[in-house]
Structure 1
Amino acid sequence: MTVEKSSAWAPLRRGVFRALWLAQLGSNVGSWMQSVGAQWTVVHQPNAAALASIVQAASLLPVLFVSLPAGVLADVLDRRRLIALATLAMAIVAGGLAALSAGGLLTPTALIAITFVLGACQALTSPAWQAIQPELVPRSELPEAAALNSLNVNLARAIGPALAGFLLGLSSPAVVFAVNAVSYLAILVALLRWRRPAAVAAAGEPMLPALRAGLRYVAYAPGVRRILLRAMVFVLPASALWGLLPVAAVNRLGLGSTGYGVLLAALGLGAVGGAVLLKPIRARLGRNTLLGCATVAYAIGVLAVALLHNATIVAVLLVVAGAGWLGGLSTLNTTLQLALPAWVRARALAVYLMVFLGGQGVGALIWGLLAAALGASATLLMSGIVLLIGAASLAVLPLHPRTGELDRAVAQPWPEPEIGILADGEEDLDPRAGPVLVEVSYHVPPENAEQFRAALAKVGVSRQRTGARRWSTYRDVSTPDLYVELFEVASWSEHLRQHNERITGADAELYQAAADLALEPPRARHLLAN
């Protein structure tokens, strides 16, 4: 069958993307098997609701501590090698978990600790996985690639839990854990076969300045901040279902391990259907409408588990919830991918993963503790209501309309800084020298003054987003039409990165809009602290 480039499956035509996608599918199946085995290990323990949620939280909370450093590493190191080393570590740790379980030495404390370590390794790779997508497919196929990656996770969710439930019925959690350990090998093979072009490898950048630059970008990117807010509003209540479903399956629906696996598979199958339908739906609905509908669909599944006793009806409605989960996740992820420039992609995605996965972990812990006090049904009912409130909040806090549509290609709208002969006779500045104060002067006619000030305020946000740690504007009292923009950058090397690597086409449009309101091209001076 011929797949058109514009179809939902177009990225799979590309060999490297296809190989990595299939390898991830195998590993994700193993990870979902591991998750079911871990939760099933504690589901018959005292305080099962709290323990099951803690196990879920242990796999997700490491993202809060690891994701930001991982994002920096993914931007400044070879992403392929980073993923490979972390994957090898996960294979070793998962093998140790299987050995402990087979030997009867696995306590709930040890299970939670090992799950935390595996979660930390996963968090170390996640920003790199996200950031390599634009290297595997063209920008025009990023929405389809994001949907396929979400489909990957959810297809694994359909297969892994059902397979884990079958194996648990025949054998023991040790076998499930062993399958997960072996599943990591597929990723290692695919990574070793990928010859990542040297041209896309990130240039070296010191860790702490790179971390500060990433956080500064997120702080001064309104569209990105709104995506993070919507992710938190969605995932905090949504996490209740993932943490409490095993308890509800046993205590409310009277199911065993196989039945629990079927419920998780229903969520996964819904996500698969959602991935197939997402492209035509996205073409008809805006991002905000799609996100709202996805949230409501997921809430339907949560409320079904909370209120209904018929396992068949619950499974059918969980298919709807799975489609909603895929729709919400894909909408947020795709919008963010398209909104980010290459230089900061992994770091900003790391912040997103902190919010999304960390929110799942924190939410699972909170809902688990509430379930221990109020019961699983009442807790799930609360989370479903919060989800519906979150969907309604899109009317007042939507995703910004141009997010994901701005030009993020690198541009160099500024002339190269002029450097004279220094006192020591050198013509090149020490990259570590700083701080650097940049002064930009504009002569603006009175009739353009108000419009210019508004344009310059947008320029200021861009300066801070790309590296300025302080920014301000002044007006010359002796020459009323003279406006002076001042911003400070930590070092000369940081300013060169700002100058040559971080300015996008959208930033250049902001600078040009301000410059067009002046009588002549702006003049810049670079002042270096003694």
Structure 2
Amino acid sequence: MSTAAPSFAALRIRGFQAHCGTYLLAMMADNIEHVISYWMVFQEFHSPALGGFAVVSHWLPFLLFSVPAGALADRFDPRRIIQCGMGLFILASLGWAWFFITDSLQLWEAMALLVIHGCAGVLWQGASQMLLHDIVPQQSLGSGVRLMATARTLGVLVGPAVGGAIMLTLGPRYGLLLNALFYLPAVLWLWKAPYGPKFRAAPAAPPRPVRGFADISRTITEVRSQRLLAAMILLAGCASFFVGNSYQAQMPGFAQDLGHGDPGATYSMLLAADAAGALVAGLLLESRGGLLSTTPRTALVMAMLWCVALAGFAATSAYPMALALLFAAGVCELAFSSIAMTLVQVHAPEASRGRVIGLYNMSALGLRAFAGITVGLGGSAIGIHHSLVASAIVLLLALGFLGYWVRRRG
């Protein structure tokens, strides 16, 4: 793929400005809801099992439904798929607000709302990536993918802070009513945004019928014969399965061992270092377009450096070094994930692009449901430091084998 596109090329397109801006707002609202609802649910039930269900219900829908949702985006207007996702997000926020205001929340209702929230994310993410192809020309697609990844990171970074401020000012009950409004700009903009199937200049390939879970095996078969797509999907899957973002859930334990386990600025800096690194990486890669080449080799090298940074973080006992390594891990993670996503989007067959993107999301996001086993349960057996080091080393070996396979097949 060419790297001649100017800095922030996608941001020069007005439609992308609206798409990226509303995506950022929705991502922020997603994380605000996590902060408020998780806090209130913990105060109501004091159930670690429900906390575990919250994590599983967030990622398991990506594992089960990403490809079927991609098939819907192949066949129907992705704008309407995104609007359906926003509708489910709004329903979840209003549902939490209703039960908290009336003080009537039951355990099964909390579980149902968590599942609704997870399903909303599946509809939203894949269709947003599909719509990107209608907004951004192919020569600027890498810029669009990087900027969307940066917007996602920024939403993850500011969402908890905004959620905390809302809880302090409006309170958690009415704060969730306000949170529902953050999803509305995407709904309203997409209502008449001039993108989607009927606005495409080139005749579209005949849409394939939606076959539900059967689309998963068919898409895997299709991708298996295309080395580049298979390698990037395997890269994302290995990273999610062995490590994912599970170390973030263990951050209180790491912070305590580093001597900063109490709530405060030092603990918050530890939580934010990873996301800050990703944010800086996104801005740096956009401002210096040729800094990293968009190739499978670059993605694999950055993923390996991510493993090294995380293993170093788990092994260090010095707080400043831990901050620096988490920052470096954030830089590497955004770099390899945005490169892999760009390659998948560029090389996916047009007739099944939604399904292939769905398979990538299934691998990159859905398999995070199992990272709690490798790092979390492993941490209960041998300690979180040893489990993260071991998981990073196993992932590093898997990436080395994947790199050898790519070179051999190349």
* TM-score normalized by the length of structure 1: 0.66
Equivalenced residues, count:
398
Which amino acid in the other structure matches residue 14 of structure 1?
A: I
Map 1:342-491; keep pairs closer than 5 Å: 342-398=350-406
Contact 1:267-1:319 at 8 Å conserved across structures: yes
2:314 to 306, 309, 323: 306
- What residue number does 1:21 align with? 20
Q: Residue deviations 1:158-177, cap 9 Å, x none?
A: 21233334455667554664
Secondary structure in 1 aligned to 2:211?
helix
In 2, the alpha carbon distance for the partners of 1:300 and 1:161 equals 28
Post-superposition offset of 1:220: 3.1
Post-superposition offset of 1:263: 3.4
In 1, the alpha carbon distance for the partners of 2:21 and 2:401 equals 37
Larger Rg: 1
Which amino acid in the other structure matches residue 126 of structure 2?
A: P
Post-superposition offset of 1:148: 0.8
> Is 1:221 paired with 2:235?
no
More deviation, 344-353/242-251? 242-251
Alpha-carbon RMSD across the aligned residues, in angstroms, is 3.4
Contact 1:43-1:246 at 8 Å conserved across structures: no
In 1, the alpha carbon distance for the partners of 2:297 and 2:55 equals 30
Contact 2:92-2:113 at 8 Å conserved across structures: yes
- What residue number does 1:333 align with? 341
- What residue number does 1:318 align with? 326
Post-superposition offset of 1:321: 1.4
Post-superposition offset of 1:322: 1.1
Secondary structure in 2 aligned to 1:82?
helix
Post-superposition offset of 1:309: 5.2
Higher relative contact order (CA 8 A, sep 6+): 2
Q: Residue deviations 1:121-176, cap 9 Å, x none?
A: 21123222111211111111111111111111111122123333445566755466
1:231 to 217, 229, 236: 236
CA spacing shift, 1:144–1:231, aligned 2, 3 Å: same
Post-superposition offset of 1:95: 1.7
More deviation, 229-238/276-285? 276-285
Q: Residue deviations 1:366-390, cap 9 Å, x none?
A: 5333334444333333333334334
In 2, the alpha carbon distance for the partners of 1:372 and 1:42 equals 24
- What residue number does 2:122 align with? 123
- What residue number does 1:242 align with? 248
Which amino acid in the other structure matches residue 251 of structure 2?
A: L
Map 1:143-154; keep pairs closer than 5 Å: 143-154=142-153
Which amino acid in the other structure matches residue 348 of structure 1?
A: V
Contact 1:249-1:256 at 8 Å conserved across structures: no
CA spacing shift, 1:304–1:39, aligned 2, 3 Å: farther
Map 1:190-201; keep pairs closer than 5 Å: 190-196=189-195, 198-200=198-200
Q: Residue deviations 1:63-122, cap 9 Å, x none?
A: 122212211111111111121122112211122123334455556765454222211121
> Is 1:266 paired with 2:273?
yes
* TM-score normalized by the length of structure 2: 0.83
1:294 to 299, 302, 310: 302
Over the matched positions of the two proteins, sequence identity in percent amounts to 24
Which amino acid in the other structure matches residue 31 of structure 1?
A: D
In 1, the alpha carbon distance for the partners of 2:319 and 2:248 equals 17
In 2, the alpha carbon distance for the partners of 1:176 and 1:242 equals 25
Structure 1 unaligned spans of 5+: 403-530
Secondary structure in 2 aligned to 1:396?
helix
More deviation, 239-248/15-24? 239-248
Which amino acid in the other structure matches residue 328 of structure 2?
A: V
Contact 1:58-1:116 at 8 Å conserved across structures: yes
Contact 2:83-2:187 at 8 Å conserved across structures: yes
Which amino acid in the other structure matches residue 375 of structure 2?
A: W
CA spacing shift, 1:288–1:341, aligned 2, 3 Å: closer
- What residue number does 2:73 align with? 74
